[in-house]
């Protein structure tokens, strides 16, 4: 067996050290994901990328690829679980897409369309999460945070600023910023930061931008997210065994 595994009947080559997700995306096979980002180490928290490998469930974004693996991804059973996860994220926060500047660019929404999530299904939590409008250039609308930690990772690893972190646990887990006042304005966050660019949903939004791109012409309007697979191909060589 050479360095190839099988996903839903398709052969996927991989280089040693790549995860199943990285290899699949490189080969043009889309696997739904939210906390995975091509420029960052795998995180493994959203669980959208759940697959079955040789019959056992696994997170494809953290699982190192191995020759001969039989990976199931788009089976009815797995699609059903992914749908439930999206519905959980939708009811956990407050997602009112019509008033969200991210609409059309949002990966949560786009995956909802991709997987035909017609209803949030579960009972809404309606959490109380006040927005932070203190910063001159950036608005934080925590209502839409799906806790993927991409902003945390970007701020720590790329910007070297550690502007974001998590507090609380369980269903009360929430995003915090690096200031005694708790306000973004009192951090050294800047619009040019990597952390300002990575949010897959509509939490970290530049101010004074409204309908810059008309609805209907936004990122996921023209083609479903699965057709954007080339945008998610990992940029850095994979690093296996590294601690997350």
Q: Report the interface residues with ligand FES, using CB under 6 A.
A: 33-36, 44-49, 59, 61
How many residues touch another protein (CB under 8 A)?
A: 71
Interacting positions 127-166 with ligand SF4 (CB under 6 A)? 144-151
Answer for which of 10, 67, 68, 96 binds another protein (CB under 8 A) is 96
Question: What is d(CA 218, CA 236) in angstroms, rounded to the nearest whole number?
Answer: 27
Name the residue nearer to another protein (CB basis): 160 or 208: 160
- Cα separations in angstroms, 75 against 63, 115, 183: 19, 12, 44
Host H or E run for residue 25? helix 20-26
Question: What is d(CA 242, CA 88) in angstroms, rounded to the nearest whole number?
Answer: 30
Taking the complex as a whole, how short is the minimal distance between the CB of residue 152 and ligand SF4, in angstroms? 6
Q: Write the DSSP string, 112-174.
A: HHHTT-----SPP-------B--SSSEEE-GGG-----HHHHIIIIISS---EEEES-GGG-E
Taking the complex as a whole, how short is the minimal distance between the CB of residue 35 and ligand FES, in angstroms? 3
Q: The tokens 């990966």 sit on which residue?
A: 107
Question: What is d(CA 127, CA 171) in angstroms, rounded to the nearest whole number?
Answer: 10
Interacting positions 88-107 with ligand SF4 (CB under 6 A)? 95-97, 100, 102-103, 106
**Residue 173 interacts with another protein (CB under 8 A): yes or no:** yes
Name the residue among 112, 185, 98 with its Cα closest to residue 146. Answer: 112
How many residues touch ligand SF4 (CB under 6 A)?
A: 24
Taking the complex as a whole, how short is the minimal distance between the CB of residue 181 and ligand FES, in angstroms? 30
**Residue 225 interacts with ligand SF4 (CB under 6 A): yes or no:** no
Answer for which of 79, 178, 190, 229 binds another protein (CB under 8 A) is 178
Taking the complex as a whole, how short is the minimal distance between the CB of residue 238 and ligand SF4, in angstroms? 22
**Residue 48 interacts with ligand SF4 (CB under 6 A): yes or no:** no
By CB under 8 A, which span of 2-10, 195-203, 205-213, 221-229 interacts with another protein? 221-229
Q: Which two tokens stand for residue 52?
A: 């079955």
Interacting positions 10-49 with another protein (CB under 8 A)? 42-48
Please give the residue ranges that form the binding site for ligand SF4 (CB under 6 A): 95-97, 100, 102-103, 106, 108-109, 144-151, 175, 198-199, 201-204
């Amino acid at each position: 067996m050479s360095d190839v595994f099988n996903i839903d009947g398709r052969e996927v080559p991989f280089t040693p050290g790549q995860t199943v997700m990285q290899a699949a995306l490189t080969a043009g096979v889309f696997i739904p994901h939210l906390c995975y980002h091509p420029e960052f180490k795998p995180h493994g928290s959203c669980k959208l990328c759940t697959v079955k490998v040789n019959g056992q469930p696994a997170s494809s974004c953290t699982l190192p690829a191995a020759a001969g693996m039989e990976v199931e991804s788009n089976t009815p059973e797995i699609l059903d679980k992914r749908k439930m996860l999206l519905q959980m994220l939708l009811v956990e926060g407050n997602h009112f897409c019509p008033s969200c500047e991210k609409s059309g660019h949002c990966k949560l929404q786009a995956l909802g369309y991709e997987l035909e999530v017609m209803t949030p299904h579960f009972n809404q939590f309606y959490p109380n999460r006040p927005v932070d409008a203190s910063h001159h250039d950036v608005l934080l609308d925590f209502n839409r945070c799906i806790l993927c930690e991409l902003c945390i990772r970007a701020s720590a690893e790329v910007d070297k600023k550690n502007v974001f972190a998590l507090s609380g646990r369980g269903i009360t887990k929430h995003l915090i910023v690096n200031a005694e006042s708790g306000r973004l304005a009192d951090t050294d966050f800047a619009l040019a930061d990597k952390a300002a660019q990575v949010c897959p949903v509509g939490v970290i939004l530049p101010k004074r931008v409204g309908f810059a791109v008309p609805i209907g012409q936004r990122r996921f309007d023209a083609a479903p997210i699965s057709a954007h697979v080339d945008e998610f191909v990992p940029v850095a060589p994979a690093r296996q065994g590294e601690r997350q």
